[in-house]
Amino acid sequence: MLLSILTLLAIAVVGFIGGVQRLYRTALMLAALVVAGAVACLLVGPLTRAMAGTPGDTQSTWYYAGDAICLWAVLCVAFLGLRLLTYRLLWQEPVVPATLDIAGGAVVGVAAGYLVVGLCLVICQMLPVAPSFLGYEPFRYVEGTSMKNPEHIERGNTVWLAPDRAAIWLFDHLAGGGAEGGALLGRYGDAYPPASLRLEPYTPAVNADDFLYYHWYRRWQAVRWRTNRVAGPVEEIPKRAIKDLALKLERRAQGKVYGMKLQINSVVRSDGLAGFPEVEPPPGEEFVEVRLRFDPDRRLPRVIDSDQFYLMDPSGKRVAGPPLVLGDAEVGPDGAPRPSKRSSTPDNEPRNLRFVPPRPGQAGTYLCDGIRYFFTEHRHYEERILIFRVPKALHSMDVRLFMDPQPSDAAEAPRTPAETAGGA
């Protein structure tokens, strides 16, 4: 609402300036703006790729983030150059009746203001601002609830009269001929989402135009996602709120982090792990065993790795590396030990799995360097004991549990024996 009012005021101001400058000068201004906008949309791709140094590399920061800078720079240079050129060459104004001159200038000024406001809105969303800027959110990312209802993009809260979409439509058609094949939007293609996060091929639940518009508006969020800095195309948790959202190390502490429901069921500190004497913490440190239940709250399908969980001190600094995973073991039909099935997740991938085999009347135990879990339905959940190592002098009440937004490449690599012997 607030931004809509501000945009109407901006359009009215430009319309007033147009009435003051009269019809001829304002028409030249509008023509210069249209040409400059088309030139900017035509050149933004090549300039951004040149700045990136790696043409077409969708993992390059400048491939995405450079668009706002290039678009604004080319637009300003082209517009000012054309204005200067028209003033020098087309200085002689035609004779027009005063009423028509003023009214026509105001009308053309309103049209120019409409396009200027539209471009400013687009550039604003391409910069590192919040996804919703003064109530303006042209597209919204919706997390899925199941395989039948996957994550998708939907229309958000745009401003009155939609000058942003009108500006993109006009300038892109002038530059190349349409959203799906034009110079402005068509070059991005299907960059959503990274294939490494998908369990199967993904098709956005929107038409192609909206899909491309979404990524044009979300340049900054898109590059952060593509470079594995956030879990989705829109940053879900502001950095300043991480310490506030992290879970205290106490029984029944619970919360939601990056679309995952977390609940701590127990916390135990120890100097060693029963059944695994070869695994011990370094001098001055001890183990913290956190029994954690976690299950997806929204986005599905979802991959969660135990290495995403970590502990932090009151300042937000990490105090423990990736955890080991401890759990109960049982004897399988083939007589070999295996992890007990205490959850509903159909598939998981443990790393460096070893056992204390079950004995008559006793439960077995397994320990691994980490596990990758695959969630495909909301009924799926996991409850595991995560083992971190922390300094003995650090009190549990001063420690918080948090998680990275998505699995890292490091989770794929097996740990060395030295890393395993050193604990988490």
> In this predicted model, what pLDDT tens digit does every residue of 366-401 receive, in sequence order?
999 999 988 877 778 888 899 999 999 988 888 999
Model pLDDT, residue 269: 94
The predicted pLDDT at position 239 comes to: 66
Inform me whether the pLDDT recorded for 158 exceeds 50.
Answer: yes
For residue 4, the number of C-alpha atoms closer than 13 Å in the C-beta half-sphere is: 11
Per the CB < 8 A criterion, the answer to whether 24 and 125 are in contact is no
| pLDDT (0 to 100) of residue 92 | 81
Place of tokens 């203001």: 113
pTM: 0.63
What pLDDT is attached to residue 376?
A: 79
pLDDT tens for residues 96-118?
889 999 999 999 999 999 999 99
State pLDDT tens for residues 185-215: 555 444 444 444 444 444 544 555 666 677 7
419 or 289, which is more confident? 289
The enclosing H or E element of 305 equals strand 302-305
CA distance 219 to 226: 11
Query: Which range among 43-57, 94-108, 351-365, 370-384 has the greatest average pLDDT?
Result: 94-108
Overall average pLDDT of the 303-309 stretch: 91
- Residue 314's closest CA among 259, 267, 364, 244? 244
pLDDT at position 225: 67
- Give the mean pLDDT of 403-409: 74
Instruction: State the average pLDDT over residues 318-332.
Output: 88
Rounded average pLDDT over 309-323: 88
Q: What is d(CA 168, CA 187) in angstroms, rounded to the nearest whole number?
A: 14
Please report the pLDDT score of residue 413 as a whole number. 40
pLDDT of residue 391: 92
- DSSP letters spanning 207-242: -HHHHHHHHHHTHHHHHHHHTTSSSSSS--S-GGGH
The counts of H helices and E strands in the chain are 8, 16
Specify whether the backbone of 56 is left (phi greater than 0), alpha (psi in -120 to 50) or beta. Answer: left
- The whole-angstrom distance between residue 137's C-alpha and the CA centroid of its chain comes to 15
Alpha helices in 227-357 (DSSP H): 242-245
The chain-wide mean pLDDT, for the chain, equals: 79
- Write the CB contacts of 224 (distance below 8 Å, at least 6 apart in sequence): 230, 235
Looking at residue 340, its pLDDT comes to 80
Q: What is the pLDDT of residue 116?
A: 94
Q: Assess whether pLDDT exceeds 50 at residue 411.
A: no
Residue 310: which residues within 8 A CB-CB, separation 6 or more? 318, 320, 321, 322, 323, 388, 401, 402, 403, 404
Q: Residue 57: pLDDT band by 50, 70, 90 thresholds?
A: low
Q: Which residue has the higher pLDDT, 330 or 134?
A: 330
Q: In the beta sheet, which residues pair with residue 29?
A: none
pLDDT for position 418: 34
pLDDT value, residue 118: 93
Residue 187 to residue 67: CA distance in whole angstroms: 12
Counting residues of the chain whose pLDDT is more than 70, the rounded percentage is 75
Structure tokens at 211: 């899909």
311: confidence class by pLDDT, cuts 50, 70, 90: very high
207-258 confidence digits (pLDDT tens): 556 666 777 787 777 667 666 666 666 666 766 677 788 999 998 999 988 8
Hey, which of 66-80, 140-154, 181-195 has the most confident mean pLDDT? 66-80
